[in-house]
Amino acid sequence: MAEIRRNRAEHAEKYGHDLKRIYEALKEFESKSDRKVVHRKPRLLLPRTGS
């Protein structure tokens, strides 16, 4: 867990903790990747019934 947190902190530091820059870097990485990116629509959550 510590390794994950350290990597996340290093990544955020690399982009000055700027979410817009982090997002743009991830989108660029995604576009250069050979992997297919799947975008799923949000699921509709139905209200729970009292049964």
Q: What are the tens digits of pLDDT across the range 1-51? A: 999 999 999 999 999 999 999 999 999 998 999 998 888 898 888 888 876
Give pLDDT, residue 51. Answer: 62
| pLDDT attached to residue 16 | 96
Is position 7 within any domain? Answer: yes
Whether residue 25 lies inside any domain: the answer is yes
- The reported pLDDT for the residue numbered 45 is 87
The string over 15-47, giving b where at least 16 C-beta atoms fall within 10 Å of a residue's C-beta and e elsewhere, is: eeeeeeeeeeeeeeeeeeeeeeeeeeeeeeeee
Task: State which residues form the domain around 23.
Answer: 2-32
| Number of domains the chain contains | 1
pLDDT value of position 11: 93
Q: Please check whether residue 50 lies inside any domain of the structure.
A: no
**Residue 25's closest CA among 42, 10, 12, 39?**
12
Give the per-residue pLDDT at 12: 94
